[in-house]
Amino acid sequence: MLLRVPRRWGAVVALASAALFAGMSTASAAPAPVVNITGIEAKNGNLIGLISAAGGANIDPGLSITVSGKNYPVDAITSGQGTPVARSAMLVVDTSGSMGEAGMATVRTAVAAFLKSVPDDVRVGLVAFSGKAVVKLAPTADQGKVQSAVNDLESDGETALYDGVTLAVKTLGTKGERSILLLSDGGDTASKASQAQATAALKTNGVRAEAVSFKSTEGNVSVLKGFATAGGGSVVSAANAGAVASAFTTAAKTLASQLTFSLPLPPGVTAVQNIKVSGVAGGKDFSTTALVDFGEGVAVKATSTAASTVPIVGPTENVIEASKPGGTLPVVNVSPMLGLALGAVFLGLVGAGIALSSGSMKSGRQTRVDSIDQYVAPGAPVKGKKQRQTAVSESLVFLGDRMMEGRESTSKTMALIERADLPLRPGEWWVLRIVALAVGMAVSLLVFNGGLIMTAVALVLGFIFGWVMPAVVLRFLAKRRAKKFDHMLPDVLTLIASSLSTGFSLPQALDAVAKDAAEPAAKEFSRALAETRIGADIAESLERLSDRMDSGNMRWTAMAIRIQREVGGNLAETMRTTAKTLREREELTRHVRALSAEGRLSAYILIALPIGIFLFTMKSNREYVELLWTRPLGLVMLAVGIVSLGIGMFWMNKLVDVKV
């Protein structure tokens, strides 16, 4: 039996059904909210970033991140639970004359509502624009300062909207999650920047933009929509104070609803990559992309130590051989550069051991001098015994002798070695210089490990350090021993004068010095006395002693002895007068050094301070100091700094070096 329905009721039912299906179709076709990734970067071995949905829509914490074609599931957390990404928001407020006092009151109320809802970790700043855009407050966590700065705003003048947006983007910088909240009621009448430049600044710097259109015309709303589209945000039209406050509160809720995700850097992914983040927001599926600079990335670890060419497949599905640069040594699991540096250090230490073990490190001349010393002072112990040299050490030293032979610097070097009383001959000194070069470059590679440019710089610095440091140390040892000899010389001359007064001859007085004086005076006078016993003139032996120790005081003493031997006189009194003169000069020298001690200490501190800070920063914040050699401007700054430091060292040395 069929139920007959009146025609008019059938029409009503049909219309209702159509409306129901249309509503269902509209609901199913509702677009997903706009989702943006902000503040994304590769940092400390992790890929971190923030994800937010326009209007504060809820985002499902379960995300999927696609990197180089491989998916990685990630559980995001609410940013309020301690995000590693710094967040900054800039309020960009129109303070032109068209806003009026009522508009400023609306701004104050809306900002108060915004500050109540914004998360505590978000730093908020303020840019106001009328005829000119001005930063009223840099981003800060002190919300009281923000509200106070907003309360001081006054409306006046024209409108520089584009300048305001550009200035806000510049003030936010380039790090972390950055957003602007723009409130404007008019167009632009006074900007130096164009609308295209302001839009490009938002896109290029990845700054999210939310706009509130307050009493705007349709034409001006389109400008604000362009900013919101470029910044991945939205535009809210607000015709009254309540709507403006609601829009500001919604913007704050968007910040509060942001999720933080963190993913360990996938091995093998380097350079700039386009990643995709997928998930569910507001009940709708979404996917969004972002460019990330992975830098050098994380090296792919070897899975087998059987061979150095085992293929390894990373997330990029590319085959990488462990023997290629950027991988690791399969046996010890260290980078090739580190392994090379450690190997160089090992070879350097082996070379030093061979050089130091090459006999007693004494030349034949030194052995003969020791024999003469034994004759002069029979009880004096011999410092070392002649040992048998190995074939390797003999070859190295022989090669060193050939390299040092005929060079102009060899005689100067041997004079310094003799003055420092080091048991080295030319070939052995050459071997030590080569070992120092290897160790210097290896240590420099360990300290300044990095890319190709940094490796080249490290090798150059290590070469310079390894070549210069042995000479510096040799000069220091020679100067220290010569200075000690000069300090002892007045007492030695007093001892000679006393011996002469008791009836001793000059050779007998020198023999007393060789037996009773301290080093280095005892050894040097013993050598001079030994020369006289094999036929040399005593005055000439003392002059050679002064040349050997580079002592002006000893030259004066030798000259006084030579004059006395030629013209006659009381040699004991001459020695006493000379000793008194030298003692007074020594006293004056020490007095001058005491007066200039503050200047020398200041010089030491000023020289060591930049070097110490550089080494400390290398250890504590390497990324910061690496800019000095990874950027052209940094290289220029580094070169200028080194030159300035060298000039300062020379200048301060001349200031505190007082000749007496």
Rounded to the nearest integer, the mean pLDDT of the chain is 76
126 token code pair: 């303020």
**pTM score, whole prediction:** 0.42
Regarding whether 266 and 120 lie in a shared domain, the answer is: no
Residue 644 binned pLDDT confidence (cut-offs 50, 70, 90): very high
Residue 82 has φ and ψ, to the nearest 5°, of 100, 65
Query: Tell me, what's the pLDDT at 335?
Result: 54
Regarding whether 235 and 111 lie in a shared domain, the answer is: yes
Please identify, among 560, 590, 620, the residue that sits at the C-terminal boundary of a domain.
590
Predicted confidence (pLDDT) at residue 56 exceeds the cutoff of 90? no
324 token code pair: 């290629």
468-485 in b/e form (b: 16+ CB < 10 A) is: eebeeebeebbeebbeeb
Predicted confidence (pLDDT) at residue 191 exceeds the cutoff of 80? yes
Flag whether 20 is in a domain: no
Residue 253 binned pLDDT confidence (cut-offs 50, 70, 90): confident
180 token code pair: 């602007």
Flag whether 25 is in a domain: no
Regarding whether 189 and 271 lie in a shared domain, the answer is: no
Regarding whether 608 and 493 lie in a shared domain, the answer is: no
Predicted confidence (pLDDT) at residue 362 exceeds the cutoff of 60? no
Query: Tell me, what's the pLDDT at 261?
Result: 73
CATH for 154: 3.40.50.410
Regarding whether 266 and 253 lie in a shared domain, the answer is: no
Residue 273 has φ and ψ, to the nearest 5°, of -125, 150
Q: Summarize the confidence of residues 556-577 as an average pLDDT.
A: 87
Regarding whether 372 and 228 lie in a shared domain, the answer is: no
Higher pLDDT, 6 or 137: 137
Regarding whether 217 and 177 lie in a shared domain, the answer is: yes
Percent helix, strand and coil across the chain, each to the nearest 5: 55, 15, 25
Flag whether 18 is in a domain: no
Please identify, among 293, 308, 340, the residue that sits at the C-terminal boundary of a domain.
293
Query: Tell me, what's the pLDDT at 317?
Result: 38
Flag whether 3 is in a domain: no
Predicted confidence (pLDDT) at residue 645 exceeds the cutoff of 80? yes
Flag whether 478 is in a domain: yes
Element (H, E) at 112: helix 100-117
Regarding whether 640 and 575 lie in a shared domain, the answer is: no
| Helix/strand/coil (H/E/C) assignment for every residue in 162-211 | HHHHHHHHHHHCCCCEEEEEEEECCCCCCCCCCHHHHHHHHHHHCCEEEE
Predicted confidence (pLDDT) at residue 10 exceeds the cutoff of 50? no
**pLDDT tens per residue across span 587-596:** 888 888 888 8
Q: Summarize the confidence of residues 568-590 as an average pLDDT.
A: 88
State the angle between helix axes of 521-533 and 452-501 in degrees (0 to 180), rounded to the nearest 10: 70
Flag whether 316 is in a domain: no
Domain count for the chain, please give it: 4
Flag whether 541 is in a domain: yes
Query: Tell me, what's the pLDDT at 126?
Result: 92
Distance in angstroms (rounded) separating the CA atoms of residues 520 and 528: 13
Residue 358 binned pLDDT confidence (cut-offs 50, 70, 90): very low
Regarding whether 622 and 586 lie in a shared domain, the answer is: no
Per this entry, what is the length of the chain? 660
Helix residue ranges, H only, 377-451: 391-404, 408-420, 426-447
Regarding whether 486 and 418 lie in a shared domain, the answer is: yes
Regarding whether 571 and 434 lie in a shared domain, the answer is: yes
Q: Summarize the confidence of residues 98-113 as an average pLDDT.
A: 84
Flag whether 23 is in a domain: no
Cross-sheet strand order for the sheet of 87-94 = 133-140, 122-129, 87-94, 177-184, 208-214, 235-238
Contact 180, 205 (CB under 8 A): no
CATH for 266: 2.60.40
Does residue 311 have a cis peptide bond before it, meaning omega lies within 30 degrees of 0? Answer: no
What is the Cα 237 distance to its own chain's centre? Answer: 49
Regarding whether 281 and 253 lie in a shared domain, the answer is: no
Residue 222 binned pLDDT confidence (cut-offs 50, 70, 90): confident
**pLDDT tens per residue across span 408-432:** 788 888 888 888 888 888 888 888 8
How many Cβ atoms sit within 10 Å of the Cβ of residue 159? Answer: 25
Q: Summarize the confidence of residues 147-173 as an average pLDDT.
A: 88
Range of the domain at 104: 87-257
395 token code pair: 């070859």
